[in-house]
Amino acid sequence: MFIHRFLFRTILISLLLAACGDSGDTAKFDEAFLGKNIQAPTTPSGLTVSSASETQINLTWTASTDNVAVTGYNVYRGTDVIKTVSGVTTSDTGLSPVTQYCYQVSALDAAGNESAKSTQACATTASDTTKPTQPTGMTASVVSRTQLDLSWAASTDNVGVTGYKIYRGGVFLENSTTTTASDTGLTKGTQYCYQVSALDANNNESSQSAQACATTTNFTPLVDTGQTTVYAAGDDASFTIDPPSYTDNGNGTITDNVTGLLWQKQDDGTTCTWDAANTYCAGLSLTGTGWRVPTRRELMSIVDYGKYSPSINGTYFPNTQSSWYWSSTTYASNTTYAWNVYFGNGYVYVNYKTSTGYVRCVR
């Protein structure tokens, strides 16, 4: 019995030494006796990377070996695995121009063993010299006597379109980050022609689009009264033709987008005679000269009959007095009178020119 045990122990030790070697390699023991493959492939070598374009880098390396078989490779950009491939070449795309990227690769086998990462290799993408495509579908449409709207189809680029340059009559007008724009402050009854070009982040500019032209209207539309509540069938609020629309220019002026008139945002809060009102507006230098007292109809165009005390859009015309405002229109029946608009309720009547009222200038 003792001999059998001694013999079994001798045989077992001999088998262990044969499988693991004198160093006691437990991995080989597991492979030999437990059927487990825990041996990682060799580390990939010879990794080289090169820039293929503004947005692509190509990678290649020498194949690894494994005690069973290499099944693929993990490709690292920085510390992140960006892909797993079966061969020894690949490409990394969608990159940014003139940017350095660094890579490593590791080998994999079927048991999920991963080798150590290769030596790092870096490359810088090329500079972007590709222009965006030419914008198409350029249109210009009439909005009012002082405004035209522009639109066009989006361009494409190998990296990305960042904006557009708008030209009027061959001269640069403004930049846009969208495919629409408005040109305001124009002259009534005048033709304007436009083109656009596309830009990318490297300031590559496409060729200009086909030209589109439009002519501003030669008339001043009548502005709706501002009423939006229907009090009876067929009243003002039952119809929408030219609803009031304003733009705060951020410089003390308001643009009426329907009539094209430029208004003083706030009056000076003091009353004066009709002659003094004309003198005040003529001397006003708010963003330029050319200011005047509005005509009766111009002044009536900013009355909002949907509001009361004051009857005006207070967002665009703050601190308006619920009182009389001068117009430049003389009363034909008696020239010592001029027409006034009462901004408490929008009432229109005449007053002596020597009486006092407020004034809001226009140009």
Q: Rounded distance, CA 6 to CA 317, Å?
A: 110
Listed residue (278, 267, 276, 273) closest to 310, CA to CA: 267
Residue 30 has pLDDT above 60, yes or no: no
SS3 133: coil
Say whether pLDDT at 29 is over 60.
no
DSSP per residue, 215-238: E--SSPPPPP----S-SSTTSGGG
Name the pLDDT band for 24 (thresholds 50, 70, 90): very low
User: pLDDT at position 75, please?
Assistant: 98
Does the structure show a pLDDT above 80 at 80? yes
Report pLDDT digits (tens) over 106-155: 999 999 999 999 999 999 999 888 999 999 999 999 987 788 999 999 99
Asked whether 29 and 21 are in contact (CB, 8 A), the reply is no
C-alpha to C-alpha distance for 302 and 77, rounded to whole angstroms: 63
Rounded to an integer, what distance in angstroms lies between the CA atom of residue 148 and that of residue 187?
Answer: 11
Integer-rounded Cα radius of gyration of the chain: 40
DSSP string, 77-120: ETTEEEEEESSSEEEE-SPPTT-EEEEEEEEEETT--BPPPPPP
Cα 212 to Cα 194: distance, rounded to the nearest angstrom = 5
Is 0.85 topped by the overall pTM? no
What pLDDT, on a 0 to 100 scale, did the predictor assign at position 116?
Answer: 97
* pLDDT tens-digit series, residues 149-201: 999 999 999 889 999 999 999 999 999 999 999 999 898 899 999 999 999 99
Closest among 343, 327, 314 to 248, alpha carbons compared: 314
Identify the weakest region by mean pLDDT among 65-74, 93-102, 228-237.
228-237
Higher pLDDT, 15 or 213: 213
